[in-house]
Each structure stands twice: as structure tokens, then as C-alpha cells.
Amino acid sequence: MVPPRYFTLAQQAAKIWSQNVTLSAPLERWAHLQDLKDRNETLFYRLVHEHIEELAPIIYTPTVGDACLHYSKLLRRARGMYFSSADRGDFNSMMFNWKRDVTVIVVTDGSRILGLGDLGMNGMGISQGKLDLYVAGGGFDPQHVLPVVLDVGTNNPDLLNDPYYLGSQHARLEGQEYDDFIDEFIRGVRNRWPNALIQFEDFQTKHANTILERYRRDALCFNDDIQGTAAVVLAGVYGAMKCLGGHRKDITKQRFVVAGAGSAGCGIATFLHQAMVAQGLSPDEAYARFFIVDKDGLITNERALDGPGSEPLHGFVRNRTDLPDGSSLVDVIRAAKPTTLLGVSTVKGLFTEEVLREMGTINERPIIMPLSNPTSRAECTAEEAARATGGRAIFSAGSPFEDVEIDGRAMKANQGNNFYVFPGLGLGAVLSKSRVISDGMLQAAALAIPNMLTSAQYESGTIFPSIDRIRDISAYVAVKVIEAAAREGRVPDEIRRLVATGEDAISEYVYSTMYLPTYRPTVFSCSSRK
């Protein structure tokens, strides 16, 4: 029997929220929310929908990093699909055992989880967290999303010796074995769910670029670390340029130092390069405006770049007599005089006070973006950037920081979260019925985001809209992605006709597809209510 009184969904959400905010540790709040999702999925998504700005850092970065570190030790309801080397030859059958239709898949091999490294099967927390944001921010139906881990083993000695680890305790597959594993998975998805979007997440550099280039031309897929991060950085750069005004509003006038030469760094540089070429620079002129630095210093053509995943770097290497291979970050900044410093190194504190002061000496308002996640791996904090530049920096990090006031001057601590991009990009790609996600569709997604800001916000140093508007942001991004796909001739006739009717009609179509967490009404017969 049940009590005579019941609570509405809104009242239940308020009750759960009052409980969650009393928990002091972020990981406790994450676990509390996961328990809720296991008991009442609708209520979970209603809560996230109502408190997205506060809960996004809990259900995803930075808290999800801690969750992944402890994932095997946390007793949780099993969600998603796990494919291991023991399942080879059966991937297709396994997918047909999944009875629901699937619209979007987030898949990881656990090899490079955030900035934490090889976490193997424990990377499932990433796939689940990303899909929670797809639902909350992009309006995807939770019944039609699928988190996946490709358990190809692990090289993490702690996991190999952990009696509670739930994944395969053998060395990671490499070479042809690894390639065949990935290929069997992709073929299975295309056979079972031919229209599903595949998002690759947290693959190490030597595989990430290769996988993306192998499948992106004939499958609806993208890599969020490479392309999603690049898109949100471009959005942030355009937002920063609107703050600056004058000649700095022209992307062809920017000079970039990128600290980190992994998949994210290469993706960012490539994407920014494409934007500069689109605005009139020759490819070589655009390449000359980039300086890529890794753990060994500036990368030039003096260095052998023939390892897996190194191909995107080739256009960016430098050959300067005054700036040799291996030059330190601060020496590169002094010589190159960049307008923008980007960090995707996962090295905490890489942007030292000397580095930040040099950026402030070169530029009246330097653009500083320490983008590494989680917070513990950020290249600098907002306070460090503010103190070194007298609060003059236009700052954006990958993880959340508080705004900073220095000598009466406020510096906005923007967060360049991929959350601004991937739900809307995914929604637009799926609704456009395109067979691929093109560079043009990605560029359209990036350029849409700054348009959501007002002049007053730019004047205050704000370069991203408030995350509590993520539904509207995602819908607008989706509209622009659909329009871009149509311009490129990637859509069927019914979508082409829709686009021809104008932006308002596309927007209405997008909103009409978005899931809202509500209870289905219960209907009682007269005989049952005597």
C-alpha cells in the first residue's frame, strides 16, 4: 500500500535537490544522482534539466573524473554495453540483443580519460556522463542513447592488479588486432543502427586521429576531443575577438601558441587554421601563425614526426633560426608574440607566472585558455591569470573557476565547455539526416555560439552564454548545422524543403523533437475509483 498523498514531478525534483545540495563532497553528490537515475530516470533528468548549470560539473567534468577513478569499486546498476576481446566475432549479435532503437552512441576505449590517463573499463563513466548531457542539453530521448566501452585491455598496472577491477586484465590490444576490434564495432553499429550518431570519446592520440579519418567520410561520427574541443575553442576565440574590437576582431590577425600536441591540440590548430583560410589567408600564411609546443618544447621540422597520429602536425612545424626546436614555452611567447595562449597539455601549472606575465606584456588584453580537464590538470587557475595580467586577460578554462577581482577590476572566468557544442551538433546532424558530419557543419556549430551573447556581455569579458540556456543554445546550434548540411547538399529533399522555408521553421522543427522529462498521465477507470 502507498500513502494517500502524492507529489508532483516538480515537487519531487525540489525535494531531491534539497537533499543533494546538503552533500559536501562532489563525488557524494554524483553517487546520489546516480542512485536517483537507477530508481527514477524521469525525475533524474527533470532535476538535471532544472539545475543544469549547478549539476553539469557533477554529472560530468570535473567530478566524473573522480567517479571513473573509483568506478569498479562503486556498486552501480549496469548501464550501456561492454565489448571485450572475449566477445570478438559476436559484436553484431550482441547489438541485436539490445532491443531499443539507438539515436546516439558515446564510445570510449578508456585509454585517455580526461587528463587521468588509461582507466580501461572504468571509462564507462565518461560515456554515461556525456549522454546525460545529450539528454539534458540536446533533448535526446534517454531511451535511445547508448554508452559504450570498448574493453581492449589496459596498461595501467594498478588496474591489472586490482581484484575489484571489472574490465579485462590484459595488456591493451595494438596494431592489427586493435584495428580489427574497432572495425568490427563500427560495422556492427552500421548494421544494427545505420542512422545512429557515433561520438568517439577519450581515445589516446595515436588512435584518435586514425580512427576519425578512417570512418568520418562514410559514417555519421565525430571525435569530441578533436572536433568538439576545436569547435568550442573557435567559438571562444570569436567571442574574445568581439570583446576586443578593432583589428583584433579579425581572426586572420591572431597568433596562436598551442601547448599540447595530442589529439585535442592538433584538432584545435587544424580547425582554427581552416577558419583563417576561409577568411582569406593562404594555407601557408595561416600555418605561420601557429606555434605548437609539447613536453619537449617547440615542435619544428628538425624533429622526426613519423609516429601514429602525428600527421596533423606536419603543416604546423616551424623552422626558424632564431627559435630552434625544443624552445621553451616562455621563449616561444617572447619570440612569437601570440595574441592567444591555448593549453591542452594536462600539465598542472604549465602556464607559470612568467609565462602569463609575458602574455600580459605583449598584449593589452591577452586571450588565455587553459583547457585541460579535470580542474587538477588545468595549466593555470583564473586567479593566477588575473594576478599575472592585472585582471586584463580574457580567460576561458576547460573546468569551472570563480570570477576574480584584482585591484577593483573584475576578470570573468569563462568556461569553454564542449557542452556548448556536442548536444546541438549531434541534434542537428541527426535531424538533418546527413550521412556524415562535415567540417562545414562543425564550423557552423562554432560560429553559432557567440551569436547567443549581447553587446553588454561582451563588454564584461563574457565570451560564452550562460549554461542554464543550454537547451536554447543547442537548438540554435542544431538549426545552423542543418542549414550548413543543406548548403553542402548533404540532406534529403524533405529537409532541403524545410530549410528553404526559413530559420523559424527549422527552429520549430528542432524544438518539436526535443525530449522533456515528464510523467505519463495515469488514467483510472470509473470502476477502479469507487
* Side-chain half-sphere CA neighbours of 325 within 13 A: 10
The C-alpha atoms of residue 526 and residue 530 are separated, in whole angstroms, by: 7
Residues 6+ apart with CB under 8 A from 480: 428, 444, 445, 447, 448
Strands (E), 112-227: 145-151, 197-200, 221-223
Active site residue 6: no
Query: Which contacts of 17-23 are long-range, i.e. CB under 8 A and separated by 24 or more positions?
Result: 17/47, 17/50, 17/51, 20/47
Residues 140 and 106 sit within 8 Å (Cβ to Cβ): no
For the chain, the residue count is 530
Of the candidates 425, 526, 482, 456, the one whose C-alpha atom is nearest the C-alpha of residue 221 is 425
Count of CB atoms situated within 10 Å of the CB of 347: 17
The C-alpha atoms of residue 243 and residue 462 are separated, in whole angstroms, by: 8
Catalytic position from the list 37, 45, 71, 130: 130
The C-alpha atoms of residue 311 and residue 261 are separated, in whole angstroms, by: 11
Beta bridge partners of 298: 293
Residues 61 and 114 sit within 8 Å (Cβ to Cβ): yes
**In a 10 Å sphere around its CB, with 0-12 CB exposed, 13-18 middle and 19+ buried, how is residue 294 labelled?**
middle
* Angle separating helix axes 422-432 and 470-487, nearest 10 degrees: 40
The C-alpha atoms of residue 308 and residue 321 are separated, in whole angstroms, by: 28
Of the candidates 215, 317, 221, the one whose C-alpha atom is nearest the C-alpha of residue 266 is 317
Active site residue 130: yes
Catalytic position from the list 45, 60, 287, 476: 60
Alpha helices in 196-262 (DSSP H): 205-215, 229-244
The C-alpha atoms of residue 458 and residue 452 are separated, in whole angstroms, by: 11
Return the residue matching grid coordinates 553542402: 488
List C-alpha distances in Å: 458 to 340, 343, 364.
17, 23, 16
List C-alpha distances in Å: 210 to 101, 206, 213, 278.
28, 7, 5, 25
Residues 110 and 154 sit within 8 Å (Cβ to Cβ): yes
Catalytic residue set: 60, 130
